[in-house]
């Protein structure tokens, strides 16, 4: 039996839970937009062609902000193609994903969809094939009230009120050689700096995200952030991070411990940001936008895998990287959410990539059903229960040895304390695939009155760690977690976590 002890102290917190860490991502890629969020003629489509079943699941997930329209797609995208009468919009070749883009869905449609989904818009601009002028013009079109050529064009296109978009990404993965308009760090840093200045000349209230390196394994990582911030530090508010993980071969232990690497990645970027700030003698604090993260099986070679991009010719919205997620994947996603919460003082925006069909928590069939993948559940419960302040927990857990990341705690935890509501929420993963875990939670300065909820996602009856959901069988889901008890007049909580599981427990608490 694995054992762990957690100390919760109401006085040790990191700060308020940043609601924007429960973000998602919609890119013009595969079937994320077309037959994902947008499918006119579908039985569940509304008057705007938006799939209401997907809208309902997006709201159920508790998504707070959605990044759009890319991703790799944005670095070859002309935003003007996606506005105005749909019949007049041009069809274009998208070189990023080797598809035909109809432009039937664009900025107006996305803003309308975001309003119905109750999410904030996070808009990305093209700094690959375009630059300062296009960025400035897009801000004017989207956000200026009226009385100018571009704002009046928006009004003529049906949007009297400005969109009021505050969050903007200055391009995407610009250090990646796969990127359309790939740049060196100096080239990109200067371009981002000037685009940021021009955009703020139009709307001074913008919050701007500069591209960090595309990943921690890139040869540019570290030096890229340092050089780019050397140019743009005073003009930006966030540095982007992207990370994807997958299980490969027989090394399931390293996969289950992937959040150890995520922790290290975040802390490395924070250190680089702060080193640049210190060298500049600046008191400004730049935070992190972890605007792409997920499990993504990039190593597979199925018909819809990344290696097959372009092999089917130029077609519209083909099936592309529609990964089907397992129990194991869901537990790992739960630990990623823990990592984001544990660093919520600096990671204040995060976007799981992507929302629908593309490595997504939601899958759909054209003309058919929409359903929840296994990874839907950790996101939905964490978003719902993580309220108030992030707890700075002390965790003493047995460890497992992993080939990639060394020792990793078998029990991975994050938690929040909502003083106004009188609740503590704990999010716990048991990484052991063989043994249950006995967990003791020691409350300091708090007394638990009752267990408000206790749920667990684990291997379903008759299944195994590779079990998945289907349209007609969502068997991998949250179930009641039994055996949660209060002892010591509410000062101690005891739990037993099943092997390979992710759990969410909410306690009613009062000050001791």
The DSSP bridge partners found for residue 289 are 240, 349
Closest CA to 364 of 51, 56, 73, 112: 51
* pLDDT of res. 249: 87
pTM: 0.97
Residues 6+ apart with CB under 8 A from 40: 49
CA quadruple 265, 269, 272, 275: dihedral, nearest 10:
-110
pLDDT digits (tens, 9 = 90+) for 317-331: 999 999 999 999 999
Dist. CA 129–CA 135, nearest whole Å: 12
234: left (phi over 0), alpha (psi -120 to 50) or beta: alpha
* pLDDT of res. 309: 75
Residue found by looking up tokens 């100390």 in the block? 7
* pLDDT of res. 243: 98
Residue found by looking up tokens 């050089």 in the block? 227
Dist. CA 172–CA 447, nearest whole Å: 47
CATH of 18-385, one of 3.40.50.300, 3.90.1640.30, 3.20.20.80, 3.40.1000.10: 3.20.20.80
- Annotated catalytic sites, by residue? 173, 292
Tens digit of pLDDT at every position of the chain (512 positions) = 899 999 999 999 999 999 999 999 999 999 999 999 999 999 999 999 999 999 999 999 999 999 999 999 999 999 999 999 999 999 999 999 999 999 999 999 999 999 999 999 999 999 999 999 999 999 999 999 999 999 999 999 999 999 999 999 999 999 999 999 999 999 999 999 999 999 999 999 999 999 999 999 999 999 999 999 999 999 999 999 999 999 988 999 999 999 999 999 999 999 999 999 999 999 999 999 999 999 999 987 776 777 777 777 899 999 999 999 999 999 999 999 999 999 999 999 999 999 999 999 999 999 999 999 999 999 999 999 999 999 999 999 999 999 999 999 999 999 999 999 999 999 999 999 999 999 999 999 999 999 999 999 999 999 999 999 999 999 999 999 998 999 999 999 999 999 999 999 999 999 98
* pLDDT of res. 305: 75
E strand or H helix at 203: none
Compute φ and ψ for 20, nearest 5 degrees: -70, -5
pLDDT digits (tens, 9 = 90+) for 159-172: 999 999 999 999 99
* pLDDT of res. 73: 97
Would you identify the CATH topology of the domain 2-10+389-511?
Answer: Immunoglobulin-like (2.60.40)
* pLDDT of res. 222: 95
Closest CA to 111 of 60, 160, 44, 184: 160
* pLDDT of res. 302: 76
The domain segmentation of the chain, as residue ranges, is 2-10+389-511, 18-385
Dist. CA 103–CA 3, nearest whole Å: 54
């Amino acid at each position: 039996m694995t054992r762990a002890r957690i100390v919760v102290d109401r006085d040790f917190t990191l700060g308020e839970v940043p609601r924007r860490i429960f973000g998602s991502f919609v890119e013009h890629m595969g079937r994320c937009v077309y037959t994902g969020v947008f499918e006119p003629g579908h039985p569940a489509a509304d008057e705007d062609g938006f799939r209401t079943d997907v809208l309902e699941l997006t709201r159920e997930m508790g998504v707070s902000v959605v990044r759009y329209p890319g991703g790799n797609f944005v670095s070859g995208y002309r935003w003007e193609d996606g506005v105005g009468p749909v019949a007049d919009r041009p069809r274009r070749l998208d070189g990023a994903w080797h598809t035909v883009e109809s432009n039937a869905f664009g900025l107006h449609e996305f803003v309308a969809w975001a309003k119905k989904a109750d999410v904030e818009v996070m808009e990305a601009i093209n700094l690959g094939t375009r630059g300062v002028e296009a960025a400035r013009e897009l801000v004017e079109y989207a956000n200026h009230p009226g009385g100018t050529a571009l704002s009046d064009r928006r009004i003529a296109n049906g949007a009297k009120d400005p969109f009021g978009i505050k969050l903007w990404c200055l391009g995407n993965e610009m250090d990646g050689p796969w990127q359309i308009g790939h740049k060196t760090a100096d080239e990109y840093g200067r371009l981002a700096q000037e685009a940021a200045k021009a955009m703020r000349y139009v709307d001074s209230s913008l919050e701007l995200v500069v591209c960090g390196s595309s990943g921690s394994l890139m040869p540019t990582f570290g030096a890229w952030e340092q050089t780019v911030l050397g140019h743009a530090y005073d003009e930006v508010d966030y540095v982007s991070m992207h990370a994807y993980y997958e299980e490969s071969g027989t090394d399931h232990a390293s996969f289950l411990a992937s959040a150890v690497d995520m922790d290290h990645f975040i802390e490395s970027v924070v250190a680089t940001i702060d080193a640049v700030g210190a060298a500049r003698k600046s008191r400004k604090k730049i935070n992190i936008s972890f605007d792409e993260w997920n499990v993504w099986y990039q190593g597979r070679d199925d018909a819809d895998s990344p290696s097959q991009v372009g092999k089917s010719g130029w077609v519209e919205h083909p099936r592309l990287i529609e990964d089907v997620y397992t129990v194991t994947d869901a537990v790992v996603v739960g630990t990623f959410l823990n990592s984001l919460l544990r660093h919520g003082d600096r990671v204040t925006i995060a976007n799981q990539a992507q929302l629908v069909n593309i490595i997504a928590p939601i899958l759909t069939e054209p003309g058919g059903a929409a359903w929840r993948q296994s990874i839907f559940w950790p996101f939905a419960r964490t978003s719902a229960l993580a309220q108030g302040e992030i707890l700075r927990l002390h965790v003493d857990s047995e460890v497992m040895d992993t080939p990639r990341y060394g020792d990793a705690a078998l029990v991975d935890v994050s938690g929040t304390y909502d003083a106004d509501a009188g609740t503590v929420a704990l999010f716990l993963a048991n990484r052991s695939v063989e043994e249950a875990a006995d967990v003791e939670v020691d409350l300091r300065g708090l007394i638990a009155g009752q267990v408000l909820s206790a749920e667990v996602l684990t291997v379903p009856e008759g299944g195994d760690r590779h079990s998945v959901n289907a349209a007609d069988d969502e068997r991998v889901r949250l179930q009641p977690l039994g055996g949660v008890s209060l002892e010591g007049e509410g000062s101690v909580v005891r739990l037993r976590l099943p092997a390979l599981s992710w759990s969410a427990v909410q306690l009613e608490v009062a000050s001791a």
